[in-house]
Amino acid sequence: MTNRSADANPTELSAEVGQTWRHFLQVYEPLRPVLYRFCRYLTRSPWDAEDLVQDVLARAFATLGGMLDPPRDPRAWLFRVASNLWIDRARRPGAQAIHASDATEPVAAVGHTRDTREAAGTLLVQLAPQERAAVVLKDAFDLGVDELAEILSTTPGAVKAALHRGRGKLAAPAQDVDRVPASGVLDTFCAAFNARDLDRLTALLLDHAAVEVVGASTIHGADRARTTVLPGMMFGSRRMAAPSEGGTCDGIDARFCQGVLPEPARLEPCAHRSEIVLVSWYAHRDGAFVRAITRVEPSVDGDRIARLRNYFFTPEPIAEVCGELDLPCRSNGTFRARTA
């Protein structure tokens, strides 16, 4: 018997997986907005919802390869994968304390004003995971009991019981928690960024800092960030404003460039609910628009940055957060759309 592993070529394998991944996305990427909406209801946070969406697509891709038959209903199948992932996490030791800390944050539903959403009420974090998933799927997506039973891997009777219990625990949302003041390191980071001082910017990162472009790549280390992510955040508009012969601008489909000018982006701290986020303003022919949002985790001593997450290829969280902050924004599409 031939030992195929001995002849395996990592480069060829990577190319084959990449091609299969693009085929997968042709079917499932169009469902991303509705998947994000479902994950947003479950997690109560645009950032956690985006993380869950990324994990759901990765899990679905891996699972699909072992299925004898393709899912009959791709949307319902993604809901099932998302429900299973979220319920598993919610039941882990310590998860209840994490959810309790979110109790003061109202659930947001894409497409409605915040006042309207809050007036309509929300699901409290005290709902059991399966109860919460059942109520969201029924009331927000109008799925039937039999569909819910299939998605939640249970019986119609158990779904009805979960809906009854969950609806009995519905309550009006509490008020927002107090805003936390901006950390000094965030102000320093913005000042260095807007001064185009890459050396100073890099010095603010811990040597082993994690720097992530959400949905695209993650690197570790200040030196690597200096040559990759940080210049892209600062000067990426130059490439976006000069579409290539293939019709893309900095790898982004040309339809997402939307009149951007080659001026460097400008970073501004904004209070969003209980944290400070950094919004990236890009100049366009018809004005300035937010194209990305960055979240920063300071080091223990607060003087440097331990983790930086840049949300650029995440259209749903950007639109939601900018909507709540009343900031104009434009989409960059997703990294998957870029590479498809």
CA 66 from chain centre, in angstroms, equals 27
What per-residue confidence (pLDDT) applies to 87?
A: 87
Tell me the domain boundaries of the chain: 7-168, 184-339
90: tokens are 């919610």
What per-residue confidence (pLDDT) applies to 246?
A: 52
For domain 184-339, give the fold: Nuclear Transport Factor 2; Chain: A, (3.10.450)
CB of 298 closer than 8 Å to CB of 180: no
Residues in the chain: 340
For 149, other C-beta atoms within 10 Å of its C-beta total 18
- Whether 7-168 shares its CATH topology with 184-339 is answered no
Neighbouring C-alpha atoms within 13 Å toward the C-beta of 256:
23
Neighbouring C-alpha atoms within 13 Å toward the C-beta of 155:
3
pTM of the model: 0.76
159: tokens are 């779904």
What per-residue confidence (pLDDT) applies to 336?
A: 65
Burial pattern 282-304, b for ≥16 Cβ within 10 A else e, equals bbbeeeebbbbbbbbebeeeeeb
What per-residue confidence (pLDDT) applies to 11?
A: 75
CB of 59 closer than 8 Å to CB of 24: no
Q: Rounded CA gap, 290 and 240, in Å?
A: 14
Q: Rounded CA gap, 108 and 47, in Å?
A: 12
- Would you list the DSSP string of 73-109? SHHHHHHHHHHHHHHHHHTSTTHHHHHHTTTTSPP--
What class does CATH assign to 7-168?
A: mainly alpha
Q: Rounded CA gap, 128 and 122, in Å?
A: 14
What per-residue confidence (pLDDT) applies to 94?
A: 56
What per-residue confidence (pLDDT) applies to 167?
A: 74
- CA 191 to each of CA 22, 195, 269, 276, 288: distance values in angstroms, whole numbers, following the listed order: 39, 6, 10, 15, 19
- Would you list the DSSP string of 172-229? PPPPPPPPPPPPHHHHHHHHHHHTT-HHHHHHTEEEEEEEEETTTEEEESHHHHHHTH
For residue 332, give the nearest of 319, 171, 340 by alpha carbon: 319
315: tokens are 């259209």
What per-residue confidence (pLDDT) applies to 248?
A: 55
What per-residue confidence (pLDDT) applies to 181?
A: 47
For 1, other C-beta atoms within 10 Å of its C-beta total 3
Q: Rounded CA gap, 112 and 91, in Å?
A: 30
| Average pLDDT for runs of 10 along the chain of length 340 | 57 78 85 93 89 93 84 91 88 55 41 37 54 82 86 83 76 44 81 96 94 91 94 90 60 77 94 91 95 92 91 94 94 69
